[in-house]
Chains A and B, each alone.
Chain A
Amino acid sequence: EAEVAQSPRYKITEKSQAVAFWCDPISGHATLYWYRQILGQGPELLVQFQDESVVDDSQLPKDRFSAERLKGVDSTLKIQPAELGDSAMYLCASSLSRGSSYTFGSGTRLTVV
């Protein structure tokens, strides 16, 4: 069964350092989402891509977060500089088209110390 791949699985970084996460969606899925999930809460959308274009980044803290999907396939989410409050699970998801099911990756657990 096709999966959304994410790496790394876990990341510990010091405050003020840069950190990057990678996501490879299911082949052919045009829509890609990055979510942040703080412990005990539901996932919150950070950025949504349609192919290589950003269609929603209204909740992305743009002073420190950036995301790209240059060729419309895999994507990278970067945080620079990391803050203690960024500690969370970062989830990537993809879907084939509007109205279709979303498939999530296993996530990256970030701890900022």
Chain B
Amino acid sequence: KQEVTQIPAALSVPEGENLVLNCSFTDSAIYNLQWFRQDPGKGLTSLLLIQSSQREQTSGRLNASLDKSSGRSTLYIAASQPGDSATYLCAALSTHSGGYQKVTFGIGTKLQVIP
């Protein structure tokens, strides 16, 4: 059974800092890993999707890496801004024992960027 863990659970940084959010998964046989952002009371917004054959994906100030062998992914945010304050979740897509695909989420890291 796939389990996804995110560390830290919460993070507070001053504006302008670079930061790293961590995600680990127990089953390395994943199809892809996706990072999402969630604002309070809202749905999830996709940030980056890394296929299992890829090592990293970049979008603007965001860079996500994937190391399947160690069961880890990181989300790097450069030059953080107050508008980056949100909860960041990672989700791993893997094959369930029944043969179909299943997405497993972590609990998320709540980020606060202080002006």
Contact = CB atoms under 8 A, between A and B. Distances in A.
Interface of B: 4, 31-32, 34, 36, 41-46, 49, 51, 89, 91, 93, 96, 98, 100-108
Interface in A74-103: 89, 91, 93, 98-99, 101-103
The secondary-structure label for the interface of chain A is strand
A48 B105 contact: no
Given A48-B102, A99-B31, A99-B32, A107 B107 contact: no
Interface string A35-52: 100001111110010100
Interface of A: 6, 31, 33, 35, 40-45, 48, 50, 55-56, 89, 91, 93, 98-99, 101-107, 109
A66 to B, nearest CB: 20
Given A91-B43, A104-B43, A106-B43, A45 B102 contact: yes
B98 A56 contact: yes
A102 B34 contact: yes
